Structure 1
């Protein structure tokens, strides 16, 4: 792994268990409670986000999966130190500053960890591109800040294999956010990937969302099975 001291990129190993709030999820995926009610939802990879914890408390049916669930909770301070070094890559309207971000992340982390202790079965350890779920088990899959973001270390074939696995466990729709790498550049192979999905029986739509924290990260990919 590249040392964060030598780059403005955040290190994958140190941010894998970052927490994002339920409200962030609703914005970054342009979601409403009405369209989620009655759906079986998978958050993959989920990190320490509070979407599963709060979603289930609000009556949704959400399962989280992440490689981080094989391990104990990371110390969030490491991620915040890295955010300080890379802060020029971000737009601070949503959080205002590092301290505002820290409060959101700690709140999400606390909600997630508490829920993990109370309902461990909702948090499934996985190592992509393999998932331990049945075919067509989930109506909706949400995938944030993983696919496309680490294009410098996860190649095109990994993305295709992972998407095929997500589609295997899916009934209806996948939403992926964002469509850029850690430097804010559009994923190089995105057009090829979209063509691949369409050729394999999916409808694909690029949708602008009411959320932008990382620069240029303001769109999601909506993939539907026909």
Structure 2
């Protein structure tokens, strides 16, 4: 059996083991503009670059970055589902989330969106762009079950990871975080950026210093950088993990 066939079997097995149902997921995403702020990116950094967005969700980053000359790939466990099903689920999720936001407005900074209606319009813009791109470039959206990624070593110049690691610290243990970061680093040539560095309560990730120390011992350059993005209060910092220059 070839390595690709083995990997395909492993992928299938992972998906079956995850036994994910569409009802369990929330298919909502951020816009390209939000990504540029969250990760302090410039358009010059994107052009011609192979970029991984993981997990990509319903984000429009890949769609818009592709139009600006980047070579993006999005990876997410949800991409195992049919695009039409994901679109329908995402539109439901946006409606549901906006209703929930009514009671939680104080936990957010509204400078960017202005109101819940403004937020809703941006979330709809993100999923519309994302779904259109998924239909046009299906090969740019890969089903993956972390902490494993079905990509070659150093396939990407840059990996971006938003609102997953650290955010769900109550559900994902420190070993999962470390394995996932090392896997992202395996498939990345230059740098991994993770946003934000706080959990859902707005507290800095409990094991951040431990993770940073472990990564530094492996030779990576690790830093926390303030960004120009803040929606969830206190979520305005990203983790940068850079590889030494080749």
Q: What TM-score results when the alignment is normalised by the length of structure 1?
A: 0.91
Q: Could you tell me which of 59, 63, 66 is aligned with 1:53?
A: 63
Q: Whole-Å Cα distance in 2 between the matches of residues 40 and 100 of structure 1?
A: 32
Q: Whole-Å Cα distance in 2 between the matches of residues 215 and 222 of structure 1?
A: 20
Task: Report matched runs for 1:1-226 at 5 Å.
Answer: 13-15=24-26, 17-71=27-81, 72-73=85-86, 74=89, 75=92, 76-226=94-244
Q: Whole-Å Cα distance in 1 between the matches of residues 141 and 66 of structure 2?
A: 12
Tell me which moved more, 63-72 or 94-103: 63-72
- Which protein has the larger Cα radius of gyration, Structure 1 or Structure 2? 2
1:86 aligned counterpart, secondary structure: helix
Q: Whole-Å Cα distance in 2 between the matches of residues 27 and 126 of structure 1?
A: 26
1:185 aligned counterpart, secondary structure: coil
Tell me which moved more, 99-108 or 51-60: 51-60
Moved over 3 A (4+): none
Q: Unpaired segments of 5 or more residues in structure 1?
A: 1-12
Q: What TM-score results when the alignment is normalised by the length of structure 2?
A: 0.84
1:149 aligned counterpart, secondary structure: coil
Give CA deviations for 1:12-43 in whole Å, capped at 9, x if unaligned.
x453x212111000001000011222211000
Q: Unpaired segments of 5 or more residues in structure 2?
A: 1-23
Partner residue, 1:9: none
Q: Whole-Å Cα distance in 2 between the matches of residues 155 and 80 of structure 1?
A: 29
Contact 1:147 1:176 in 2 (8 A): yes
1:114 aligned counterpart, secondary structure: helix
CA RMSD of aligned residues (A): 1.4
Q: Whole-Å Cα distance in 2 between the matches of residues 52 and 84 of structure 1?
A: 30
Structure number with the higher helix fraction is 2
Contact 1:18 1:79 in 2 (8 A): no
